[in-house]
Amino acid sequence: MKMTPHSVDDYQYMIDIHTRWNDNDVYGHINNAVYYTWFDTCVNNFLIENDLLDIGNSKTIGLVVDTGCQYFVPLSYPETVQTGLRVGRIGNSSVRYEIAVFGEGEKMAAAQGHFVHVYVDEKTRKPAAISAHMQDILSKLLPPG
Amino acid sequence: MKMTPHSVDDYQYMIDIHTRWNDNDVYGHINNAVYYTWFDTCVNNFLIENDLLDIGNSKTIGLVVDTGCQYFVPLSYPETVQTGLRVGRIGNSSVRYEIAVFGEGEKMAAAQGHFVHVYVDEKTRKPAAISAHMQDILSKLLPPG
Amino acid sequence: MKMTPHSVDDYQYMIDIHTRWNDNDVYGHINNAVYYTWFDTCVNNFLIENDLLDIGNSKTIGLVVDTGCQYFVPLSYPETVQTGLRVGRIGNSSVRYEIAVFGEGEKMAAAQGHFVHVYVDEKTRKPAAISAHMQDILSKLLPPG
Amino acid sequence: MKMTPHSVDDYQYMIDIHTRWNDNDVYGHINNAVYYTWFDTCVNNFLIENDLLDIGNSKTIGLVVDTGCQYFVPLSYPETVQTGLRVGRIGNSSVRYEIAVFGEGEKMAAAQGHFVHVYVDEKTRKPAAISAHMQDILSKLLPPG
């Protein structure tokens, strides 16, 4: 189950994340839970930039049903890290996103994990099929081959 | 890989967690990353209560190398939830903790996951063997059989 | 401007707050911003318990326009703290809440501050007058005299 | 007590802050407590960049004794905001920092506040006089006149 750190080349969509003072825990490293707030931010930034999410207005919203992360190298405030996003699998109403975190100027992941969204109707909270348009955009983040 | 929700009876060590206003995200549910702050709190409460951790003074500290969580039922502030802790595996210098979260008054887990600590020397950050005393205390949280 | 620490007797409404592992910052104390998450929680717990707020359904919501806190004594995870709430002033559409934080078993405040809500219509976000019913309930938290 | 929003021209030191998904609360705005995590980050970034703080190694650390913020205009994830820093007062062992937050592309503050650090010896936690070198650097952030 132990993963090998990925390279920045394995991820097509990258964003910078400015670390914050209180991301560090008492041991002087970014706390493990904080990585998941970055996963959330990376996935939602991608969805918003591609007009797949309009917070407060979208009829379909993504609920998180499964997350995981492996931590290879500690990171610390005040460095600016990068998160890379790719798509592991596109299901009928769910998407497995894969996210890696890179320390400032690093090419190999300091941590990497996943985040599974089930898309549901905002009102009924019942699963909603992923549109052909969304499938099309997400498929650009599938690994080649 | 999809887990079945556990029962409160599967966990020997339980603590209450008061949810907070800002644990809820924009959809009105506890954000997925917040569960990991509860995992941290549950594991460390257990270690502190059993004199296995004295923050700022312990010569051995636990670094988190692997975490994961599955979410079955949404939870929301202002409910008071419970987290249950058990030990999945005790290695030479690592421990796999398993944590479940129960909604207020509920017997079946709303979410459950794991959290792997590698114990290291506080100064050198090299792996440190788990003492017989700590093994003894942790083994009480191993599932029966 | 320097305040004198208040006593638990100065506050009518008290709730327990379980501190969390990641509330501590790198210096081993609760981070200053975390106190405001407790203020939020204390005020909203009171409103919810008194049927003055139903998250996601209330037609009137409180927007925070002014906050402040003075810190007298550091607090640290894993202690369970208490927050006390009183009302400083009830305006036409705004309320000044005053909150103090007490360390575990302590009678004098470790920190105290304020939090001003302006109540607005949930849709238009225009100021909404505080109902006589709400005034009545809040006035019970005004200091005597 | 109500402040007038400041301009970006009133602040000499500016940093970008990428907002995060979970900075938004249930009303779709940045939660009031999150601003203080930005204040912390802005002040500490400045201190670190000017070699006035080396986390985990500095003999003198800053404890926060007083904070406050007024909120003029709501901000929301996913915008990138800016925080501006200036120094309000340099005491013998304390500094009053003043911080303003600007929405993406905005010239007038969306929120502004303060943050008072008392500098103490890292071991004894007794007040430590601010060095002439630190006074010199901080005085560059005092408003003109």
The complex scores an ipTM of 0.95
Tell me how far apart the alpha carbons of residues B97 and D140 are, in angstroms, rounded to a whole number: 51
Predicted pLDDT at D56:
84
User: Is position B111 within any domain?
Assistant: yes
Predicted pLDDT at B143:
87
User: Is position B2 within any domain?
Assistant: no
First to last CA, chain C: 22
Estimate to the nearest angstrom the gap between the alpha carbon of C41 and the chain centroid: 7
Q: What angle do CA B86, B14, C104 make, to 5 degrees?
A: 130
Predicted pLDDT at D1:
58
Mean pLDDT of D67-84: 97
Residues with Cβ within 8 Å of D128's Cβ and at least 6 positions away in sequence, in order, are D59, D60, D93, D119, D120, D121
* Interchain CB contact of B145 with C (< 8 Å): no
* Interchain CB contact of A25 with C (< 8 Å): yes
Per DSSP, chain A holds a count of helices (H) and strands (E) of: 2, 5
Predicted pLDDT at A1:
58
Q: Percentage of chain A surpassing pLDDT 90?
A: 90
8 Å CB contact between C98 and C85: yes
* Interchain CB contact of A145 with B (< 8 Å): no
Q: Percentage of chain C surpassing pLDDT 70?
A: 99
CATH number at residue C106: 3.10.129.10
Tell me how far apart the alpha carbons of residues A103 and D128 are, in angstroms, rounded to a whole number: 34
Tell me how far apart the alpha carbons of residues B98 and A12 are, in angstroms, rounded to a whole number: 34
Q: What is the pLDDT of residues D101-144, one digit of tens each?
A: 999 999 999 999 999 999 999 889 899 999 999 999 999 999 88
Confidence of residue C12 (pLDDT cuts 50, 70, 90): very high
Confidence of residue A10 (pLDDT cuts 50, 70, 90): very high
Q: What is the pLDDT of residues B19-64, one digit of tens each?
A: 999 999 998 999 999 999 999 999 999 999 999 999 888 899 999 9
User: Is position A1 within any domain?
Assistant: no
Nearest by CB to B67, from A26, A37, A68: name it.
A68
* Interchain CB contact of B104 with A (< 8 Å): no
Nearest to B116 by CA among B48, B62, B61, B56: B62
**Residues C43-77: b if buried by 16+ CB within 10 A, e if exposed:** bbbbbbeeebbebeeeebbbbbbbbbbbbbebbbb
| Contact between D70 and C66 using a beta-carbon 8 Å cutoff | yes
Q: How far is B120 from chain A (nearest CA, A)?
A: 12
Confidence of residue D55 (pLDDT cuts 50, 70, 90): confident
Q: Total domain count for chain A?
A: 1
Total-model pTM: 0.96
CA distances in angstroms from C92 to A50, C64, C89, listed in the order given:
43, 15, 10
User: Is position D1 within any domain?
Assistant: no
Per DSSP, the residues of chain C read: -PPPPPBGGG-SEEEEEE--GGGB-TTSSB-HHHHHHHHHHHHHHHHHHTTS--TTT-SEEEEEEEEEEEE-S---TTPEEEEEEEEEEE-SSEEEEEEEEE-TT-SB-SEEEEEEEEEEETTT--B-PPPHHHHHHHHTTSPP-
Q: How far is B139 from chain D (nearest CA, A)?
A: 35
Predicted pLDDT at D25:
92
What are the chain B neighbours of D31 within 8 Å (beta carbons)?
21-22
What are the chain C neighbours of D69 within 8 Å (beta carbons)?
66-68
Other C-beta atoms lying within 10 Å of the C-beta of residue C127? 16
Domain that holds residue D77: 8-139
Residues with Cβ within 8 Å of A131's Cβ and at least 6 positions away in sequence, in order, are none
Other C-beta atoms lying within 10 Å of the C-beta of residue A30? 25
Q: How far is C32 from chain B (nearest CA, A)?
A: 15
Mean pLDDT of B103-117: 97
Q: How far is A32 from chain D (nearest CA, A)?
A: 15
Nearest to D85 by CA among D102, D105, D103, D70: D102
User: Is position D2 within any domain?
Assistant: no
Nearest to B45 by CA among D26, A31, A70, C19: C19
* C129 vs A125, higher pLDDT: C129
First to last CA, chain D: 22
Residues with Cβ within 8 Å of D145's Cβ and at least 6 positions away in sequence, in order, are none
Residue A56 has pLDDT above 90, yes or no: no
Tell me how far apart the alpha carbons of residues C21 and B31 are, in angstroms, rounded to a whole number: 17
Q: What is the pLDDT of residues C59-111, one digit of tens each?
A: 999 999 999 999 999 999 999 999 999 999 999 999 999 999 999 999 999 99
Predicted pLDDT at C56:
84
User: Is position B114 within any domain?
Assistant: yes
What are the chain C neighbours of B17 within 8 Å (beta carbons)?
18, 20
User: Is position B40 within any domain?
Assistant: yes
Write down how long chain D is. 145
CA distances in angstroms from C119 to C116, C128, C129, D49, listed in the order given:
10, 6, 7, 41
Tell me how far apart the alpha carbons of residues C36 and C70 are, in angstroms, rounded to a whole number: 11
Q: Percentage of chain B surpassing pLDDT 90?
A: 90
Quick one: tokens of D93?
Answer: 């062992």
Predicted pLDDT at C143:
87
Q: Which residue of A has its CA nearest to D53?
A: A78
Nearest to B82 by CA among B6, B36, B16: B16
Tell me how far apart the alpha carbons of residues B71 and B32 are, in angstroms, rounded to a whole number: 8
Predicted pLDDT at C3:
83
8 Å CB contact between A92 and A129: yes
Other C-beta atoms lying within 10 Å of the C-beta of residue B85? 20
Per DSSP, the residues of A64-127 read: EEEEEEEE-S---TTPEEEEEEEEEEE-SSEEEEEEEEE-TT-SB-SEEEEEEEEEEETTT--B
Quick one: tokens of B106?
Answer: 């509920």
Residues with Cβ within 8 Å of A25's Cβ and at least 6 positions away in sequence, in order, are A31, C21, C22, C24, C25, C26
How confident is the prediction for chain C on average, in pLDDT? 95
* Interchain CB contact of C33 with A (< 8 Å): yes
* Interchain CB contact of B19 with D (< 8 Å): no
Quick one: tokens of C44?
Answer: 């909203």
Other C-beta atoms lying within 10 Å of the C-beta of residue B79? 15
User: Is position A94 within any domain?
Assistant: yes
Task: Write down the residue that tokens 């004198």 correspond to.
Answer: C4
Write down how long chain B is. 145
Nearest by CB to C24, from A21, A26, A33: name it.
A26
Residue A27: what are its φ and ψ, rounded to 5°? -90, 0
